[in-house]
C-alpha cells in the first residue's frame, strides 16, 4: 500500500499536507506508506522535522534526489495511488505520467488538475485540506478502488496519445 508523491519538492505542492495526513490514525491503521521521490527545492529539514514531530518517519520512504527518466517507471509501478496535494498549480506533468502508467490520482481543487482527473473515475479531487486528503486515501484503500479506477484510466489515457494530438492538428475542424 503505497502513495507516491513525485517530482520537484516545492512548498506549493503541499507535501506537508500529505505528511500531516499520514499522521492520521486511519492511515496509520491501514499500514500505508508514503513514497517521496524527487529533488527538494525547499529546505528538506522542514519536511523531515515535521515527519519526526508527527511520528511518521517510519511511514515515509524518502528518495529525494534527481530521478532520471530511466527510473521513473520504478516509482510509478511501485505506487497504488499518486498524490498531488497542491496548494496552487496550473497543470502538472505528474498527471500525464500517472495516466501513462495507469495509476489513480489524488489531486486538489486547484488550477487545471480537476479537469484532468475526473473525481471517482480517475481518482479523487479534494480541497487542499488534510482531512479531505485522509478521507480520499482511506477510501481508496478500504474500498479497493484501484482496479475500478485503472479501467477508466486505460480508456481515458487515449485522449492524451500522440495519435490523437496529431489527428487534432491535421483535422482542426473536427474538434
Average pLDDT of the chain is 91
- Coil/strand/helix, residue 119: strand
Report if pTM > 0.85.
Answer: yes
| pLDDT beyond 80 at 71 | yes
Contact call for residues 99 and 22 (beta carbons, < 8 A): no
The tens digit of pLDDT for each residue in 18-33 reads 999 999 999 999 999 9
Q: What is the pLDDT of residue 175?
A: 56
CATH 2.60.120.10 fits 2-174, yes or no: no
Q: Where are the domains of the chain?
A: 2-174
Question: Mean pLDDT across the stretch 146-173?
Answer: 81
Cα angle 155, 160, 161 (rounded to 5 degrees) comes to 90
CA–CA dist 35, 63 (Å, integer): 7
Q: What is the pLDDT of residue 15?
A: 96
Question: Mean pLDDT across the stretch 120-133?
Answer: 96
State how far Cα 15 lies from the chain centre. Answer: 10
Amino acid at each position: 500500500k503505497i502513495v507516491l508523491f513525485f517530482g520537484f519538492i516545492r512548498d506549493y505542492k503541499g507535501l506537508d499536507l500529505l505528511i500531516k495526513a499520514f499522521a492520521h490514525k486511519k492511515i496509520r491503521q491501514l499500514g500505508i506508506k508514503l513514497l517521496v521521490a524527487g529533488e527538494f527545492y525547499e529546505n528538506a529539514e522542514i519536511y523531515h522535522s515535521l515527519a519526526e514531530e508527527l511520528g511518521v518517519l517510519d511511514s515515509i520512504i524518502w528518495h529525494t534526489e534527481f530521478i532520471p527518466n530511466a527510473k521513473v517507471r520504478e516509482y510509478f509501478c511501485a505506487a497504488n495511488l499518486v498524490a498531488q496535494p497542491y496548494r496552487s498549480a496550473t497543470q502538472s506533468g505528474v498527471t500525464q505520467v500517472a495516466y501513462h502508467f495507469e495509476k489513480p490520482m489524488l489531486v486538489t481543487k486547484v488550477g487545471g488538475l480537476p479537469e484532468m482527473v475526473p473525481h471517482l473515475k480517475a481518482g479523487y479531487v479534494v480541497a487542499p485540506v488534510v482531512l479531505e486528503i485522509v478521507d480520499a486515501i482511506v477510501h481508496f484503500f478500504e474500498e479497493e478502488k484501484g482496479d475500478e479506477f485503472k479501467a477508466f484510466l486505460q480508456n481515458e489515457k487515449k485522449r492524451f496519445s500522440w495519435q490523437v494530438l496529431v489527428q487534432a492538428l491535421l483535422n482542426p475542424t473536427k474538434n
